[in-house]
Structure 1
């Protein structure tokens, strides 16, 4: 069997699961407000949490751009299902590039095969998500003592370890940042459940406080000063592409729901699809979705090939896809009329879940800043350009 045939089989398996068991899980999550551990176990058993991981780690070894094709399908499901698949299929990548062989056996491979859960832990309540972080560590021999706060930490209540960015006390800028794997059970760590969100119901989130929490120096990925490379290059660039593709998948779901409703809804003796205003909405949605899909795939291929434009394209893709999703879901809800506002309609859930994409992996304002920085760098690098 060729790689293409194996991928086609996997794609069919994902489609069938999303449309069948995945939809039943979505209904259960909405009813209970909770993602049960049984769902994690099922996703792991089916191999859906290691699609992008290398074969030698127990993964499927699917290339990143092809993995994004599957990410689109998963994103048509419930927001919490998409979140699990998105994070677990990406966090191994952040660790792997800086892990020692021993760390690979302790953290990377167990995260791929489902033995442990690791939460990405960067954002702070009083800072941005880059070199301005203030959560700090003081080293004493073979131990770091960690103090500070983190918030909006996805899976922060159910994880086994936090992949956490901190600053060596007394340093400034990116040169003093370290990436640490902090045990969930470490002394001096307090986790507050902050999971009561508008959408993406069931995904747990936490606010964390550290009071001289001891962390072995052996749990540091890379050297001191390489922490942002772990978080920004190892995780954030591919994650932005993945979030952008999740916008495409969710928009496609909204479009399908709107088309189905418009095809069956009759007003004054005509289906809504016979009315030009609705036809134009659906046509515009289709074009907008496809434009975003192609930009995301371009960014995915660039990242896969190690291209210099990967960071800029990831921000372009995320920015464009979020704006597209906002427009598409709004039109899809409008096509449903007043009925779309009721929880009995699936479009209502899609509309709520879509709002989370506006800030996940950085707001559009952040993406614009990244894009402009890259444009400015290129301009300054060109000889003869006036400055």
Structure 2
């Protein structure tokens, strides 16, 4: 059978999708919470969680049926991402990353590369870590990691950090540039084996929130990478990273903000209904009620922007990159306000680790950095805005 790059899909029929959505919701509120307790108690994500998510088919939801996936449309996948995001941050991170990295690879893969990397990743047989961010540069055209050609290998030199699953992965999907190049010109995307020579891996998993998701700092010292592991052509490295992964991933992160905000709102509402002061529940206090009302309005507004961005990306709208940054910017700011109000509703009791809102509050802060800071998103939106204005003149 000849494999080709995945074509856009329109997803499951509504009845089948409703069944799947109910299955995910049941898992998140039941087994997902038990996994959350275990992760928080141990500080680690056990391999058994990866196995369970794979066996349930949750790591292949967004991939097309032709590639062994469930064939969800992107808006359907975002509906499920909202549900997964109500669970532990590390659980959400696993399904988010695995259901996204295949896109970056698939769009540029040869048939052989699709067999070696894409299909095993979708099947859960390979873990691939997306590797772009550097400690001394932004996450774009100013990357400094370089490669030089040496026969049928590239020699990779540089440093990457804050790499999710960078410790336990099988391959790093690394974006670097040909030595001497600048800007987008000369960038390359390489599948670097985890056991490659000349690589130092430092575990940097001790984070404020999203406990247990291993993060790594990677140092490459003339690490040899086969030219056959290059995705696309020389000069297409950032196209692999930005178009193939970051645009839909930013939409996904925006929806994860919505899902976590919904969880914070649920916890705040339950607490306010059950907590009594001076003989009345907190929900009878106007100050508390207004907080909950503001939360509800902001969550729905962000949800609708994210859904719009998801539809436009699937339809190939050229404005999708701008919309993805807008959605991520709005959703992450919303999440900060909602979780802050939710913690305030709990009063002092919410500050203790025995309270579920405490974990949600910590996990929420990580979203400000994932797939680019708010400042990075504003720069993207401004660039598009100015470009449109110049085009009108």
Please give the TM-score of this superposition, normalised by the length of structure 1. Answer: 0.98
Deviations 1:36-75 (A, max 9, x none): 0000000000000010001011100000011000000000
Q: Report the counterpart of residue 369 of structure 1 in structure 2.
A: 379
Identify which of 73, 89, 105 aligns with 1:63: 73
Task: Return the offset for 1:141.
Answer: 1.2
Q: Report the counterpart of residue 340 of structure 1 in structure 2.
A: 350
Q: Report the counterpart of residue 83 of structure 1 in structure 2.
A: 93
Superposed, 1:276-355 pairs within 5 Å as 276-355=286-365
1:208 maps onto 2:213 in alignment:
no
Q: Report the counterpart of residue 122 of structure 1 in structure 2.
A: 132
Deviations 1:246-267 (A, max 9, x none): 0000000000000000000001
Query: In structure 1, what is the Cα distance between the partners aligned to 2:33 and 2:150?
Result: 51
Deviations 1:140-196 (A, max 9, x none): 111100111100000000000000001101111111100000000000011000000
Superposed, 1:28-43 pairs within 5 Å as 28-43=38-53
Q: Secondary structure at the match of 1:174?
A: coil
Gaps of 5+ in 2: 1-11
Identify which of 217, 220, 227 aligns with 1:217: 227
Query: In structure 2, what is the Cα distance between the partners aligned to 1:178 and 1:353?
Result: 33
Superposed, 1:106-145 pairs within 5 Å as 106-145=116-155
Query: In structure 2, what is the Cα distance between the partners aligned to 1:278 and 1:173?
Result: 51
Q: Report the counterpart of residue 16 of structure 2 in structure 1.
A: 6
Task: Return the offset for 1:5.
Answer: 1.1
Query: In structure 2, what is the Cα distance between the partners aligned to 1:56 and 1:189?
Result: 35
Query: In structure 2, what is the Cα distance between the partners aligned to 1:35 and 1:236?
Result: 24
Query: In structure 2, what is the Cα distance between the partners aligned to 1:273 and 1:172?
Result: 58
Task: Return the offset for 1:28.
Answer: 0.4
Deviations 1:61-105 (A, max 9, x none): 000011000000000000000000000000000110000000000
1:146 maps onto 2:161 in alignment:
no
Query: In structure 2, what is the Cα distance between the partners aligned to 1:128 and 1:173?
Result: 12
Q: Report the counterpart of residue 245 of structure 2 in structure 1.
A: 235
CA RMSD of aligned residues (A): 0.6
1:105 maps onto 2:115 in alignment:
yes
Q: Report the counterpart of residue 358 of structure 1 in structure 2.
A: 368
Gaps of 5+ in 1: none
Q: Report the counterpart of residue 60 of structure 2 in structure 1.
A: 50
Q: Secondary structure at the match of 1:225?
A: coil
Aligned residues: 382
1:249 maps onto 2:259 in alignment:
yes
Return 3-12 or 338-347, whichever deviates more: 3-12
Query: In structure 2, what is the Cα distance between the partners aligned to 1:249 and 1:114?
Result: 24
Q: Secondary structure at the match of 1:175?
A: coil
Task: Return the offset for 1:3.
Answer: 1.4
1:226 maps onto 2:256 in alignment:
no
Q: Report the counterpart of residue 380 of structure 1 in structure 2.
A: 390
Query: In structure 2, what is the Cα distance between the partners aligned to 1:6 and 1:189?
Result: 45
Query: In structure 2, what is the Cα distance between the partners aligned to 1:172 and 1:94?
Result: 22
Query: In structure 2, what is the Cα distance between the partners aligned to 1:172 and 1:378?
Result: 25
Query: In structure 2, what is the Cα distance between the partners aligned to 1:350 and 1:359?
Result: 16
1:267 maps onto 2:277 in alignment:
yes
Task: Return the offset for 1:9.
Answer: 0.8
Query: In structure 2, what is the Cα distance between the partners aligned to 1:277 and 1:140?
Result: 67
Task: Return the offset for 1:318.
Answer: 0.3
Query: In structure 2, what is the Cα distance between the partners aligned to 1:137 and 1:17?
Result: 44
